[in-house]
Amino acid sequence: MVSISGAISLVLGTFVGILLVVTREGNILENKAVQKILSQTINVFRSIPFIILLAALLPLTRAIVGTGIGTKGAIVPLVFGTVPFLARQMDTALSEVSDGVIEAAQAMGSSPWEIIFRVYLREGLPGIIRGITITAVSLIGLSAMAGSIGGGGLGDFAIRYGYQRNHNDVTYVTVAVILVMVTILQSIGSYFVKRTTH
């Protein structure tokens, strides 16, 4: 559930984050209308609590994957909850790239696509990795919340076998497993940030 929704969110979130930056006023693909629509859409989805988003997207989830419950039913709302968050992280990371480097690339005749791949994504890599790490940790939390509607995974396990059956030890073990997962993800992210910082 986390890996599939994470992979989809990574592709879509990166694409939307890049669009947010390059369509900004004065940037290489300036387009105020696209920038404003994307920004407002992201703000709307980020302001909706995930538990409400789960319920609100139920008809759409059923239309896309054929069910609103279980692991498959959790993937669609997880993507909708994660893409806006990751897009903002990408926006922040890419906005830190120096204007001077972009102007130098333009002066050398680089096309917008070349600037995106050779300048933005390369120079902003440490910030991008930080954003992906934060998003991955957040996604684990959201996937646990998806368990409250029978979304499967650790959240569902903790609620069904721990909370509902009054087995606190099961709940604590589940929390410990999630804590270990988050720690491992954070350590991997920190390692790659150090390796890519120059």
Residue 124 and residue 83: Cα distance in Å, rounded? 19
Helix or strand (DSSP H, E) at 185: helix 168-196
**Tokens 């498959």 belong to which residue?**
72
DSSP track, 44-64:
HHHHS-HHHHHHHTHHHHHHH
Is the pTM higher than 0.95?
Answer: no
What domain count does the chain have? 1
Quote the tokens at residue 15. 């694409």
Please compute the mean of the pLDDT values over residues 21-47 and round it to a whole number: 91
Confidence class for position 43, pLDDT limits 50, 70, 90: very high
The CATH number of the domain holding residue 110 is 1.10.3720.10
Predicted confidence (pLDDT) per residue in 143-181, tens digit: 888 776 666 777 777 777 887 788 888 888 888 988 999
> H/E element holding 93?
helix 70-95
* Average pLDDT taken over every residue of the chain: 88
Residue 11, token pair as written in the block: 């592709």
d(CA 36, CA 172): 44
Share of the chain above pLDDT 90, in %: 44
* Domain coverage including residue 70: 2-196
Q: Residue 54: name the closest of 34, 82, 86, 26 by CA.
A: 82
Predicted local distance difference test score (pLDDT) of residue 162: 80
Per-residue pLDDT tens over the stretch 46-90: 999 988 888 888 899 889 988 877 778 888 999 999 999 999 999
pLDDT value of position 40: 94
Per the listing, tokens 């001077």 go with: 100
